[in-house]
Structure 1
Amino acid sequence: MAAQNIPATLPVVRRTPTAAGPGESSVWTPNTDIYLTDDGLVIKVELAGMRKEDLELTVENHVLRIRGERHDGCRSHRCRFVVMEISYGRFESLIELPEGYDLSAAKASYQNGFLRIEVPFASSQRSEPFPVPIESA
């Protein structure tokens, strides 16, 4: 698809995960950029300090679910934060994509603290849930 045929805006919906239940820690949502290219959509998620093994990507009904857990470096009871701006613990991001993208052909890579997911324009659709593997860069 040529760049001139790409709409200026997309009905991409970011949904906030449901609140944690009693006894559960809260879930945070990582910073995310979503942009169009000539080939499709790129989703770039800021996840510094993670290992790809700690990330999970799944797709169901046009919704891309990105989740995992970032552990803090201070587990001692003697550790007291003076400033704490980095989010730790469980995270989740839900991104609902419109028709026209082939999530079954999505490719993901994790490098230098960024998860990059490339979703090409669709030629066919897949309806059952499936995982998206993360490649090493």
Structure 2
Amino acid sequence: MLRFDPFNDLDAMTRGLLTSQAGTDRSPRFMPMDLYKVDDHYVLTADLPGVDPGSVDVNVDSGTLTLTAHRSARSEDSVQWLTSERFFGTYRRQLALGEGIDTTRISATYENGVLTVTIPLAERAKPRRIEVVRSGGGTQIEATTVDAS
């Protein structure tokens, strides 16, 4: 269903490791997520703690699902940092959607720092059981499609 570009994530993580220093502007290293299938849809959950809900964007374009969110930095100039480990900036994750996804019915919610995206299968991609019907006396066989759910 979903493919991802591990090299893109690796490049972003490498840039973050090489350019980050304590107390300086640091961009998020990654957006941890889970992906699983339930019945006739996939569910993607991504951890985005401290993100402004208004900055969360879910977009589908040419078979690519893009998740974007932004966490703002603290703006206190008089602060003397002892430890600065929390990332701020723009989180971004892209996944290539496979065939058989109904992109018009994708939905998303953001609650308690977790983004949940529901990705439904298209009707034509759902598994079906084919019922075989025998005709009366001959050897003719007729098949009809029966919804498996």
TM-score interval w.r.t. the shorter chain? Answer: 0.5 to 0.7
- Structure 1 residue runs of 5 or longer lacking an equivalent are 1-9, 125-137
Aligned residue in 2 for 1:13 = 4
Aligned 1:12-51 pairs, distance under 5 A: 12-14=3-5, 16=8, 26=27, 28-51=29-52
Name the % identity.
Answer: 23
CA drift at 1:27: 5.9
Cα distance, 1:84 vs structure 2: 2.7
Paired residues, what number?
A: 111
Report the structure, 1 or 2, having the larger helix content: 2
Task: Tell me by how many angstroms 1:110 deviates.
Answer: 0.7
**For 1:20-99, what aligned pairs fall within 5 Å after superposition?**
26=27, 28-72=29-73, 74-99=74-99
How far apart, in 2, do the equivalents of 1:86 and 1:38 lie?
37
Distance 2:41 2:5 in 1: 18
Distance 1:109 1:80 in 2: 37
Residue 83 of structure 1, CA deviation: 2.6
Larger Rg: 2
TM-score (normalizing by structure 1): 0.68
Give the structure 2 partner of residue 116 of structure 1. Answer: 116
Structure with more contact order per residue of length (Cα contacts < 8 Å, sep ≥ 6): 1
Measured on the aligned residues, the alpha-carbon RMSD in Å equals 2.6
The 3 A distance-change label for structure 1 pair 54 and 11 is closer
1-side partners of 2:46 and 2:34: how far apart? 6
5+ long unaligned stretches in structure 2: 16-25, 125-149
> Contact 1:32/1:46 (CA < 8 Å) preserved in 2?
yes
Q: Give the Cα separation in 2 of the matches to 1:67 and 1:11.
A: 17
Corresponding residue for residue 130 of structure 1? none
Tell me the distance in 1 between the aligned counterparts of 2:70 and 2:61. 21
- Code of the residue aligned with 1:13 in structure 2: it is F
C-alpha contact (below 8 Å) 1:101/1:121 kept by paired residues: yes
C-alpha contact 2:28 2:87 (8 A) present in aligned 1: no
2:123 partner SS: coil
Shift of 1:113: 0.6
